[in-house]
Amino acid sequence: MIKARPQDAQQPLESLLALSAPPLRWSDVLTYAKYGNPDPARRLLLSEAEWAARLLPAQFQVLRQARTEPPYRNAYCRSYEPGRYACAGCGQVLFDSAAKYHAISGWPSFTQPATRGALRFHFDDSHHMQRVEVRCNVCEGHLGHVSADGPAPAGLRFCINSASLRQAPEGTL
């Protein structure tokens, strides 16, 4: 827990809240998937036809049809440029490059979301596997999955499709 000090007073409230928020843990993910996710500050819910008109085909297949892009042959798998990653569907900031790490999975991997309320979690029993699906909390677009085999301290591994993300250089989002 990072406590606010007097010299932090000039910082925006939002950044102080983000710093002081406890990290998301596997028990939190399971609780959200089982009992419901936090309400987002805004929602963007469109028809599938509207999404098809708005998104590139590869983005539509991942975000709206929950497809998985090929491992390694995707934009952000090996990219470690500093900056933030927003949802390709609605622009919500989802991840920060500071939480990105090399998981050797073939997809971009993160240990934490940018903020606690950015994501929503759902149990996914498709493909004969028991997984936890990760979606954008604003537009409910499919992003990927989260598992409990990530690095310490929180132990989470967010395995996310590049096509669901749009990276913006540091300071622009």
Residues in contact with Zn ion, counted by CB under 5 A, come to a total of 8
Q: Where are the alpha helices (DSSP H) in the chain?
A: 13-20, 26-35, 48-54, 57-63
User: Does the protein bind Zn ion through residue 55 (CB under 5 A)?
Assistant: no
Residue from 33, 62, 136, 159 binding Zn ion (CB under 5 A)? 136
Other C-beta atoms closer than 10 Å to the C-beta of 146 total 23
Closer of 74 and 92 to Zn ion (Cβ): 92
State yes or no: is 136 an active-site residue: no
Closer of 74 and 137 to Zn ion (Cβ): 137
User: Does the protein bind Zn ion through residue 89 (CB under 5 A)?
Assistant: yes
The answer to whether the beta carbons of residues 40 and 32 sit under 8 Å apart is no
Per CB under 5 A, which region of 24-32, 84-92, 100-108, 158-166 contacts Zn ion?
84-92
Per CB under 5 A, which region of 31-39, 66-74, 78-86, 141-149 contacts Zn ion?
141-149
The answer to whether the beta carbons of residues 151 and 111 sit under 8 Å apart is yes
Residue from 87, 143, 160, 163 binding Zn ion (CB under 5 A)? 87
Closer of 57 and 153 to Zn ion (Cβ): 57
- Give me the least distance between CB of 135 and Zn ion, in Å please: 8
Name the E strands within the chain.
83-87, 93-96, 100-101, 109-110, 119-124, 131-136, 142-147, 157-160, 165-169
The answer to whether the beta carbons of residues 90 and 141 sit under 8 Å apart is yes
Closer of 92 and 111 to Zn ion (Cβ): 92
- Give me the least distance between CB of 172 and Zn ion, in Å please: 18
Cα 173 from Cα 115, distance rounded (Å): 13
The answer to whether the beta carbons of residues 96 and 18 sit under 8 Å apart is no
Residues that bind Zn ion in the complex, under the rule CB under 5 A: 87, 89-90, 92, 136, 138-139, 141
